[in-house]
């Protein structure tokens, strides 16, 4: 009977939690803890509530408790790694996240797009963080992982291109852009970026081909029109 009552309380707390009624949810969750009920979901919800209130240290303890009970609790791992990054504990956050990712792969369960996207978002965030600190090789590693897991392949590929350009590796940037265009022929941003690199390398006819392709797909693209006009007039091409 006690176990059934605990299950009812968890369900009730979860309903409040999902509706954003954190005060009510917290009250029930604390009751369950006083009963010594060891369910990782309890501590995961508490960790999220504490994080929302800016109580980061309490949130860290709650998420860690969830992982002590169930090391494979993915949501708690992701939540903990996000908080650690917010606190500037980047290496620790990355370690937690990578461990969770490795455990998930070892299980060899059926691919879950929702879980993959959550991991992709985290890799993407870490890539952005490394980019901010000009650690472009580390950023590349994270962006490649994000792209492999995410459905946002074109968007993340452009971040990979950015890193290669910052590293002065234009040929690698070109190859990445060519792959994007092959997969997404109507992706105008990729074609414009590729044309920009060609202009910087004085390969104007290759740039022309990309601008013309953009206008084939979208005759109203002002940027491609203006750049082609500058090319035909023999003026210096203004790239922004």
Contact 49, 26 (CB under 8 A): yes
Mean pLDDT within 83-108: 78
Q: Calculate mean pLDDT across residues 56-63.
A: 92
Range scoring the smallest mean pLDDT among 29-33, 62-66, 72-76, 195-199 = 72-76
Average pLDDT (122-127) is 92
Q: Evaluate whether 232 touches 238 at the Cβ level (below 8 Å).
A: no
pLDDT(84) > 50: yes
Tell me what pLDDT residue 108 has.
47
Examine the pLDDT at 189 and tell me if it is beyond 80.
yes
Q: Is the pLDDT of residue 209 over 90?
A: yes
Do residues 158 and 150 lie in contact, with contact meaning Cβ atoms separated by under 8 Å?
Answer: no
Q: What is the pLDDT averaged over residues 158-172? A: 94
Q: Quick one: pLDDT at residue 104?
A: 67
The structural domains of the chain, ordered by start, are 1-107 (1.25.40.10), 110-184 (1.25.40.10)
Quote the percentage of the chain above a pLDDT of 90: 49
And the tokens for 153?
A: 């392949």
């Amino acid at each position: 009977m006690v176990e059934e009552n605990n299950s009812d309380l968890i369900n009730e707390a979860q309903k409040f939690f999902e509706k954003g009624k954190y005060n009510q949810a917290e009250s029930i969750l604390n009751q369950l803890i006083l009963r010594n009920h060891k369910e990782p979901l309890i501590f995961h919800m508490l960790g999220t509530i504490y994080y929302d209130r800016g109580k980061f240290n309490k949130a860290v303890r709650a998420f860690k408790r969830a992982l002590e009970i169930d090391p494979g609790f993915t949501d708690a791992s992701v939540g903990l790694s996000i908080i650690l990054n917010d606190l500037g504990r980047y290496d620790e956050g990355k370690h937690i996240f990578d461990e969770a990712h490795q455990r998930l792969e070892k299980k060899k369960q059926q691919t879950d797009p929702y879980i993959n996207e959550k991991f992709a978002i985290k890799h993407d965030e870490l890539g952005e963080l490394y980019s901010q600190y000009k650690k472009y090789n580390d950023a590349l590693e994270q962006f490649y992982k994000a792209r492999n897991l995410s459905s946002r392949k074109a968007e993340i590929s452009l971040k990979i291109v950015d890193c290669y350009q910052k590293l002065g590796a234009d040929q690698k940037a070109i190859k990445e852009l060519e792959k994007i265009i092959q997969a997404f022929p109507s992706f105008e941003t990729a074609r414009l970026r590729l044309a920009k690199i060609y202009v910087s390398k004085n390969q104007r006819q290759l740039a022309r081909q990309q601008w013309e392709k953009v206008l084939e797909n979208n005759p109203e693209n002002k940027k491609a029109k203006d750049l082609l006009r500058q090319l035909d007039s023999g003026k210096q091409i203004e790239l922004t």
